[in-house]
Every structure is written in structure tokens, then in C-alpha cells.
Amino acid sequence: MDSPPFLWGGKGETSMKRSVMRKYAQLAVRRGVNIKKGQGCVIYAQVEQFEFAEMVAEEAYRAGAKWVEMQWGDQVISKLKYRHETVTQLSQAEEWEKARWQHYVDTLPAMIHISSEDPDGLKGVNVEKLQKANGARAKVFKPFREAMDNKYQWTIVAVPSKKWAKKVFPQERVSTAVEKLWDAILKTVRVSEDNDPMGEWDAHNARLAAQCEKLNALNLDYLHYQAPNGTDFKCWLIPGAQWHGGGDTLPDGTFYNPNMPSEEVFTSPMRGRCEGTLVSSMPLSYQGNLIDHFSVDFENGRAVSCKAEQGQELLEKMIAMDEGAAMLGELALVPVESPIYQTGILFYNTLFDENAACHVALGRGFNEVVPGFEDMSSEELKARGINDSIIHVDFMIGCKDLFITGYTKDGSSVKIFENGSWAI
């Protein structure tokens, strides 16, 4: 599952019918964050996406939002900051920023992230400078994130930008590329001019929940991943931890969808218990740079080496970000029947690409997979096996010839995936 970012980037225009965009905005508000009457709402968007952002803001008010705050960004300006400011300056957080996040902790607004980033948007930025700055800022805001964890609704949705669309459809004119990307996005989020997207999402969430029930009933000890591309990997599960899929539920019973689209069933594995090699099946777009054709080797639960034809330095620095960055925080299962996989499109955007294929995530795990997590401290959750880190980075390992076998503590085996599809 993709994690909520601070800012996203991109530029885009479209002739997409406003009625369809309106339905999408309604979906983001009423099924994405499922905003509660009287709740605040924060919307993160690039300035070029003002038209859709305005629709989302209006729909939030219509749904009962007490207030709506816009957080505008611009990827070009972000790149200029990384080029010209010092690491010290980039790492600092102003007191007004801390005060704002303390206000979020106190009020728990719903947060909507509108993704439109250019996959190559930060290309050319010094990798070490980028990592140091982002790592330092993440540490500053970590206490605020932990104070809000599993207490508020958030969702990530996407709209096309010109540069993102051209990356996905390089042979097309810009206007055509944007329209084609709009079409692909709307199909994957189940929005069309003549359908009921909220009803379709209710049915979709129910299907994913049923798959979770099957997996939870197996009480698996570990999973063994195998594929002809070189993937041969074993990963142990946290005893009693649950598989989740589709939406998430707050302690007060509020149900929301953090990622739209979402085709995954996921859990957090046992911290520091995995062995073997994972080979990527898709490029990873990370902090405005691409990491492609890569593999990661694990020993004693940690990533000990990696190889990449593109972005090796960035991958190495990501794994070394902190103690937990070299360990896994998520296992996610996605069959090749996924509508995102079936498009045949490489989106160069984790929100979509992770929902096209089975994936894992380096870094922070999900507390909510452990029953009773609400009453546990961070130390207790770590003791149960939940990994902690300032990063959570998904990379895709699923393919049409992936096999996954589950094993119980008594040594019994059960086929989970066969040729990239569910076997249970």
C-alpha cells in the first residue's frame, strides 16, 4: 500500500468532461477519505491541478467539511530548492510548520493527496543532498506522524500532468497523451460517465475483504516466492497478524480507502526474518528519479546488497536511510488479473504500478495488521515484529510466472499464487 507523501508534482490540462471529473472528486471525498461531518480537510495538489483540486474542495464542503485547507506545490520550484539551498536549510522545519502539524495532531483532519508528479521531475538533483535533506525533515515530522497514525483518514488519487503523460505515452502528442492517461486512470478507479463508482467500490472492497478472510484462515508461518527471473525469497509472517485489503477502518469505525486505485491484499511481515533474492518486475519511481532493472539480496532479515542498471546509487542510499530501511514493512499480493496490469501500461507511478503486481516495501510497516494495536506502544509493536523507518518504499516483484507457496508451522504447504494468479 502506498503511503501518504507530503507533496506531489506535475503539470496538466485536459478536455475531460467536467461531469466525469466531478464524479471522481466525489469518489475521492466520499469513499477515499469518507470525510466526517464537521471534520477538517487538507488537500495536497500541484498548482497546475487547480481545476480538479477546486472540485475536490467543493465536494469536501458538500460532504460536511468544517474547513478545507489547500497545500499547493510545484515540482519545478522543488527542484530549484534542492539545487540552490544547503542541506542544512533544506533539512530545517520552521516553527510555523511544526505548529501546523501540531494542529493536525489536535484536530485530525482528513487528508487528500492529488498525485500528478513527473517521474523524472528531480532528475539531475544531487542524490546525496536529496536523501540527507528528506531524511532529516522526515525525522522532524516523525513524532507528528506517529501521533496521528491510524487516527485519521487519508487517500491518494491521481490526475495526469503533461510530463507524466508524455513519460507514459512518449510517441503521442502532449494533448493526446494527457487524454489517454486520463482514460487509463478513470478506468482503474472505476469511474465512467454512466456508472456508479461508489457502488462499484463497495463491491470491490467486499471482494478484497473476502480474499483477506481466506488468507487469515490459513494461519501461515512464512511465504516462499519463486520466479524464473531470479526471485527466490522466503519471508516469515507475524503470528496473529492479519491480511488487509481495499479500505481501512479507524478505531471509531470510519471506513476509508487510502489508495485509489487499490487491488492489493497486504500485511506486514516479521521484522528481520527473510532470506533470498527479490528481482524487480517494474521500474521504481522514487523522489523524482527512476530505479530500474534491479534486484535486492536479503540475509538475516536485512537487505545486504543490491544491483540496478539505473539508479543504483539512489537505491543504495535509500536502503541505508536508517536501521529499518533495510528491512521489509509490507508484503502485498496482486494477481495479473488486476485491471492495472491488464492495461499493459507502465505508469511510472507507484500508486498504479504497485497495484499491477505483487510487491514488497522497504521500511515502515503497518501497525493496524496487529489486532489490538490501538492499545500498544511503538516499542510493543516493534517487539511483535512491526518494522519502523522514516521511509516506506514499494517495489514490484510480481509477474505472470510468479509462484508463491505458503507454509504453516507444522510444515504443511498451500499454493497461494500460481503463474501470477490466485491459487486459493
Sign of the C-alpha dihedral, residues 141, 332, 379, 303?
negative
Q: Are residues 319 and 218 in the same domain?
A: yes
What pTM was estimated for this model as a whole? Answer: 0.87
Domain boundary among 159, 176, 197: 197
Q: Are residues 320 and 389 in the same domain?
A: yes
Task: Determine the Cα–Cα distance for residues 134 and 174; give it in Å rounded to an integer.
Answer: 31
**pLDDT for 16:** 55
Residue 204 lies in a domain: no
pLDDT tens digits along 109-123: 999 999 999 988 888
Residue 289 lies in a domain: yes
The C-alpha torsion from 384 through 137 and 162 to 395, rounded to 10°, is: -30
Q: Are residues 180 and 287 in the same domain?
A: no
Q: Are residues 167 and 55 in the same domain?
A: yes
- Look over the chain and give the mean of its residue pLDDT values, rounded to a whole number: 92
Residue 1 lies in a domain: no
Q: Are residues 252 and 380 in the same domain?
A: yes
pLDDT tens digits along 403-418: 999 999 999 999 999 9
Whether the pLDDT of residue 18 is over 90: the answer is: no
Half-sphere exposure (Cβ direction) of 46: Cα atoms closer than 13 Å: 25
Kindly report the number of other CB atoms within 10 A of residue 55's CB atom: 19
> Count of domains in the chain?
2
Whether the pLDDT of residue 7 is over 50: the answer is: no
Q: Are residues 22 and 171 in the same domain?
A: yes
Residue 59 lies in a domain: yes
pLDDT tens digits along 256-311: 999 999 999 999 999 999 999 999 999 998 877 889 999 999 999 999 999 999 99
**pLDDT for 92:** 87
Residue 4 lies in a domain: no
Residues above pLDDT 90, as percent of the chain: 82
H-helix segments, 63-173? 75-84, 87-91, 95-107, 127-148, 162-168
Domain boundary among 165, 197, 229: 197
Q: Are residues 247 and 111 in the same domain?
A: no
Q: Are residues 36 and 109 in the same domain?
A: yes
Residue 29 lies in a domain: yes
Q: Are residues 145 and 225 in the same domain?
A: no
**pLDDT for 131:** 81
Q: Are residues 169 and 308 in the same domain?
A: no
Q: What's the CATH code of the domain at 51?
A: 3.40.1830.10
pLDDT tens digits along 233-261: 999 999 999 999 989 999 899 999 999 99
Whether the pLDDT of residue 10 is over 80: the answer is: no
Residue 272 lies in a domain: yes
**pLDDT for 2:** 63
Pairing of the two strands 265-267 and 248-249: unpaired
Whether the pLDDT of residue 68 is over 90: the answer is: yes
Whether the pLDDT of residue 12 is over 70: the answer is: no
Task: Determine the Cα–Cα distance for residues 373 and 366; give it in Å rounded to an integer.
Answer: 10
Give me the sheet containing 110-115, strands edge to edge: 67-73, 40-46, 110-115, 154-158
Residue 68 lies in a domain: yes
Phi-psi map region of 411: left, alpha, beta (phi>0 left; psi -120 to 50 alpha) = left
Average pLDDT over residues 101-106: 96
Domain boundary among 197, 225, 251: 197
pLDDT tens digits along 187-228: 999 999 999 999 999 999 999 999 999 999 999 999 999 999
pLDDT tens digits along 305-330: 999 999 999 999 999 999 999 999 99
Residue tagged 518504499 (cell numbers) = 393
Q: Report the Cα 237 to chain-centroid distance in Å.
A: 21
Q: Are residues 215 and 258 in the same domain?
A: yes
Q: Residues of 238-261 as b/e, b for ≥16 C-beta within 10 angstroms?
A: beebbbbbbbbebeeebebbbbbb
Average pLDDT over residues 366-387: 93
Q: Are residues 155 and 230 in the same domain?
A: no
Structural domain range at position 394:
210-422
